Structure 1
């Protein structure tokens, strides 16, 4: 009897899978921190005999090569992918035995990348699950624009065909994608976290629209690509270095001040409320419980030294684990404790106000003229916006800071998390800021919005 275990990587919006029988298993699209995959196999008491990549990933550093080395497993990588390491090249229709009566069959599914492969788990002669990577997702498909702008339309058309090829599987077959749980590799965000071929036939545009209508809709809905994606594919194709989670060098207040003066990034990973109340002047806040890896890697110049500030060793370790997943391997330094311990004197401590949308209404009634800054993405803005607000997506803020008008800046996003990052950027540049730490739904109910 087969089993399938999910290894969720929440911060990246991805999932890896461990599947097999009582003796052997395959791992599909493992994350960089493979210790959690090895632990999952140990709990099952199975040996990892195969590690399979659906594609060369653009959004994270894979742990596949390292996992295959450690376990002695066969490393399955699409044959057309250009890589610099030994692997088992996978072609359409190739099958791999996982145990008595349990096989893994490769299916060519180009679209997210030209070389993409899905893997169908077959028990006896019955398909039971399809590991679809960045092909057929929950209610959508993987983005076709991450490889080369010249290939985007061609890959979008290929996605349509690949989804329909997978849809030939029986209705009850589980669809188990790698992307689509908040990942920017997904073309859109769909509801739910489980699906089947039958369910997708009733709701997925790739299976409901003809190819031209599908491609038009898909390409018109694509948003900006995180800047760090440009570095992930080459790292994965070259073969990532083994994971290193040893503790970074600890820095005292004077050393932190020197790093700040040298232009290094000092990143406080505490939650946005704690940061607003008290923080080291000049530091930036990308909270651990948000999407630390995605937004820090997106905003920070690639390769720039970063020093992490955390309230505990546990928080620091968790932050380091998040960051290695996107290739930020070794923080230049770190400090654990409180802002008072990180500053050389009280002049090095700062704070700013947190508020909700109701407070913004009150500010207007009191005759104030706050500058309202919306840092959501374009696709969110078109669904509604605060009347009179300035729109600069978070990932453009540092280069477009001159477009923020003079005055007190009330900054918001959809939930408060990205606004917290933006508020810290503005504060570090000396602007007076109010963090609107609130759901955008409350802006609507407060009567602050117009349609986009």
Structure 2
């Protein structure tokens, strides 16, 4: 048995291709299936089955279209309500994929109908746990509604023990979430690989012998998750198609100008340093990188038209990433010279500083705006700072104090987005592009 890992660091998830050298099973495919197709072709295997551990809330699946395109059986829990034909599978059912034996195991917790898959090949055993047991933690239990969180947390505790009954300590563990995804909760270990036995010794779902304490701790650690999650389950239940990943014909300057004049969402993908120095007035800065998808998806209103501005490579990467969260076929203006992209649109800029400049130049009465999450602010903060988390900023603009705003986060990425949105709204901003961990050493009064 060989397991090929297909990483999606932009969302903190993994997909898997497990095979016996001839035939393979794909588990929790991301929407851009060309990566899985390439992996299967390189391995020289035919994929006969595609499986979902659950109806996903953090990305649009590629499982449905992969199965259709390649004539594979699409394994989805018989209890899940979907609007497409699938091969229904339920707890305890087993099937063969070449020489592999695949058993479905009910592991509710992340969702009510969550399945894990135990795959065996001779003496080898692997557990594909989806959003059940992760490396050091478990999948969060509130994505179906806060009212389900406590009951599903109890289910997570029981499901972990069910997996321990179904597989041995030496079984390799392959979760879908837990690599930065907001679908995980608790002390994720950051490990790249693990076994079920290692989790018995280190994961709080196993080491905490008090179920009530485990549940209370899990519930206490539930934090905000991206708003785009609300769109994922309906898309996945409907059977999403294959995305168009091509770069569109670029908009001409007149059309880009018209969109900016109309207040449409025009997103600049350049480095946040370049953006602060000079940008088209009315754009928003979402520097392309691993955090791009999460924060644009969190803030962008899905009923609006999206236009991307940047290099061809950045636009191409962004189109792929956004397809994974159901934002298909954005328009684009290609290029990084703001003056050439739309000559008639005025340019804007704002200062970009470090903490030493804040200490030297911040004046009494000017607001330090902290856009980190509420739990980060509670743990440690600059005395007198105002906290409006980045994901709440657009809905709370009327709460932002008047006057000059010194905007910061933990590393500079979220503050760059927030500064651009405030600049777009006509506010006087100073962008603090520095690590919060340096604030106290620079001389800022930090409280905890």
TM over 0.5: yes
SS of the aligned residue for 2:379 comes to coil
Q: Report if the CA contact (8 A) 1:31-1:61 is conserved.
A: yes
The one-character-per-residue Cα deviations of 1:185-239 (angstroms, maximum 9, x if unpaired) are 1113523222221221222221122211111111111111311111100000011
* 1:382 and 2:381 matched: no
Q: For 1:109 and 1:85, how far apart are their aligned partners in 2?
A: 23
| CA deviation after TM superposition for structure 1 residue 53, in Å | 0.5
TM-score by length of 1: 0.95
The one-character-per-residue Cα deviations of 1:294-332 (angstroms, maximum 9, x if unpaired) are 11111111221011101x211111110011000000114
Q: For 2:103 and 2:226, how far apart are their aligned partners in 1?
A: 32
Q: For 2:107 and 2:233, how far apart are their aligned partners in 1?
A: 18
Q: For 2:445 and 2:42, how far apart are their aligned partners in 1?
A: 51
* 1:208 and 2:207 matched: yes
Match of 1:272 in 2: 272
Match of 1:140 in 2: 137
Q: For 1:369 and 1:217, how far apart are their aligned partners in 2?
A: 39
Match of 1:253 in 2: 253
Q: For 2:186 and 2:314, how far apart are their aligned partners in 1?
A: 31
Q: For 1:252 and 1:386, how far apart are their aligned partners in 2?
A: 45
| CA deviation after TM superposition for structure 1 residue 107, in Å | 0.8
Q: For 1:167 and 1:380, how far apart are their aligned partners in 2?
A: 34
The one-character-per-residue Cα deviations of 1:315-367 (angstroms, maximum 9, x if unpaired) are 1111100110000001144333421122333x611111111222222224xx5
Match of 2:7 in 1: 8
The one-character-per-residue Cα deviations of 1:369-388 (angstroms, maximum 9, x if unpaired) are 54211111122222211111
Match of 2:193 in 1: 194
Q: Report if the CA contact (8 A) 1:181-1:189 is conserved.
A: no
| CA deviation after TM superposition for structure 1 residue 403, in Å | 1.9
| CA deviation after TM superposition for structure 1 residue 449, in Å | 4.9
Q: Report if the CA contact (8 A) 1:221-1:379 is conserved.
A: no
Q: For 2:275 and 2:394, how far apart are their aligned partners in 1?
A: 19
Q: For 2:31 and 2:440, how far apart are their aligned partners in 1?
A: 40
| CA deviation after TM superposition for structure 1 residue 287, in Å | 1.4
- Equivalent of residue 418 in structure 1, options 401, 405, 414: 414
Q: Report if the CA contact (8 A) 2:9-2:290 is conserved.
A: no
Match of 1:331 in 2: 330
TM-score by length of 2: 0.96
What pairs with 1:54-203 in structure 2 (closer than 5 Å)? 54-100=53-99, 102-124=100-122, 126=123, 128-168=125-165, 169-188=167-186, 190=188, 191-203=190-202
**More divergent stretch after superposition (32-41 vs 439-448):** 439-448
SS of the aligned residue for 1:400 comes to helix
Q: Report if the CA contact (8 A) 1:135-1:159 is conserved.
A: yes
Q: For 1:260 and 1:340, how far apart are their aligned partners in 2?
A: 14
Q: For 2:95 and 2:300, how far apart are their aligned partners in 1?
A: 41
The one-character-per-residue Cα deviations of 1:262-295 (angstroms, maximum 9, x if unpaired) are 2320011112111111111110011111422211
Q: Report if the CA contact (8 A) 1:182-1:189 is conserved.
A: no
CA separation of 1:135/1:280 partners in 2, compared to 1, >3 Å: closer, same or farther? same
Q: For 2:203 and 2:323, how far apart are their aligned partners in 1?
A: 34
**More divergent stretch after superposition (381-390 vs 331-340):** 331-340
Q: Report if the CA contact (8 A) 2:169-2:198 is conserved.
A: yes
Q: Report if the CA contact (8 A) 2:119-2:125 is conserved.
A: yes
The one-character-per-residue Cα deviations of 1:29-54 (angstroms, maximum 9, x if unpaired) are 01110001101111111111111100
Task: Return 5+ residue gaps in structure 2 as ranges.
Answer: none
Q: Report if the CA contact (8 A) 1:180-1:189 is conserved.
A: no
Q: For 1:392 and 1:56, how far apart are their aligned partners in 2?
A: 32
CA RMSD of aligned residues (A): 1.6
Q: How many pairs does the alignment contain?
A: 445
| CA deviation after TM superposition for structure 1 residue 257, in Å | 1.6
| CA deviation after TM superposition for structure 1 residue 99, in Å | 2.1
Q: Report if the CA contact (8 A) 1:171-1:198 is conserved.
A: yes
| CA deviation after TM superposition for structure 1 residue 127, in Å | 5.0
**More divergent stretch after superposition (127-136 vs 106-115):** 127-136
Q: For 1:45 and 1:290, how far apart are their aligned partners in 2?
A: 30
The one-character-per-residue Cα deviations of 1:64-121 (angstroms, maximum 9, x if unpaired) are 0111111111111111111011111111112221222x22211110000000001112
Q: For 1:400 and 1:61, how far apart are their aligned partners in 2?
A: 29
Match of 1:51 in 2: 50
Match of 1:292 in 2: 292
Q: Report if the CA contact (8 A) 1:54-1:133 is conserved.
A: yes
* 1:428 and 2:424 matched: yes
Q: Report if the CA contact (8 A) 1:271-1:289 is conserved.
A: no
SS of the aligned residue for 1:341 comes to helix
SS of the aligned residue for 1:12 comes to coil
SS of the aligned residue for 1:223 comes to coil
